[in-house]
Chain A
Amino acid sequence: MSEMNETENIHKPRLTMHFKVEEEDFIIAGEAASKTKKALQQLGLKQEIVKNIAIIVYEAAMNIVIHANYGEVQVIIVPAYVTVIAQDKGGGIPDVDLAMQEGYSTAPIEAQEMGFGAGMGLPNMKKCSDIMHIETQVGVGTTLKATIYLHQSDAKQVETGAMYV
Chain B
Amino acid sequence: MSDYFHSVTLDYDKCKGCTNCIKHCPVEAIRVHEGKAKIIQERCIDCGECIRACPNHAKVAVTDSLDKFSHFKYKIALPAPSFFGQFSDEINIEDILGAFLRIGFDDVYEVALAAEIVTHIVHQYLADRKYKKPLFSSACPAVLRLMQIKFPDLLNQVVPVMAPIDVAAYCAKEEAMKKTGLPYEEIGAFFISPCPAKATVVKHPLTDRISPVDGVIGVSLIYKDILKHITKDKAKEKTGPSLHKARSVGMAWGYVTGESKSVDFGTGLAVSGIHNVISLLEEIERGELKDVDFMELQACIGGCVGGPLNIQNLFVGRVKLRQMVKKYSSTTPYFQNNQLQELYEGGQFELTEPIQPRPIMVLDKDMSKALIKMERLDEITKDLPGLDCGACGSPSCHALAEDIVRGFAFDTDCVIKLRGKIKILAEELLDLAQKLPSSMSDDPAKKVSPP
Which residues does A use to contact B, with CB under 8 Å? 9, 13-15, 30, 33-34, 37-39, 41-45, 47-48, 50-51, 54-55, 58, 77-79, 124, 150
Contact = CB atoms under 8 A, between A and B. Distances in A.
A4 B35 CA distance: 55
Contacts of A45: 367
A97 B84 CA distance: 62
Interface in B323-377: 357, 359, 361-365, 367-368, 370-372, 374-375
Could you tell me the dominant secondary structure of chain A's interface residues?
A: helix
Given A44-B367, A50-B153, A13 B359 contact: no
10 residue pairs, one from A and one from B, having the closest CB atoms: A44-B362, A13-B371, A47-B153, A43-B370, A13-B372, A42-B363, A79-B368, A42-B361, A41-B361, A47-B152
A38 B359 CA distance: 11
A22 to B, nearest CB: 19
Contact of A42 (B153, B357, B370, B375): B370
B152 A43 contact: no
B402 to A, nearest CB: 8
Given A34-B282, A55-B287, A58-B286, A15 B368 contact: no
Nearest to A10: B368
B175 interface: no
Contacts of A50: 153
A150 B370 CA distance: 14
Given A15-B375, A79-B367, 17 more contacts: A13-B371, A13-B375, A15-B378, A30-B283, A33-B286, A41-B359, A42-B362, A43-B362, A43-B363, A43-B370, A43-B374, A44-B362, A44-B364, A44-B365, A54-B285, A78-B371, A150-B367
13 contacts: A13-B368, A13-B371, A13-B375, A15-B375, A33-B286, A37-B282, A43-B371, A44-B367, A51-B285, A78-B371, A79-B368, A79-B371, A150-B367
A63 B152 CA distance: 27
A44 B153 contact: no
B258 to A, nearest CB: 28
A51 to B, nearest CB: 5
A8 to B, nearest CB: 11
Contact of A44 (B150, B359, B375): B359
B7 to A, nearest CB: 26
A39 B405 CA distance: 14
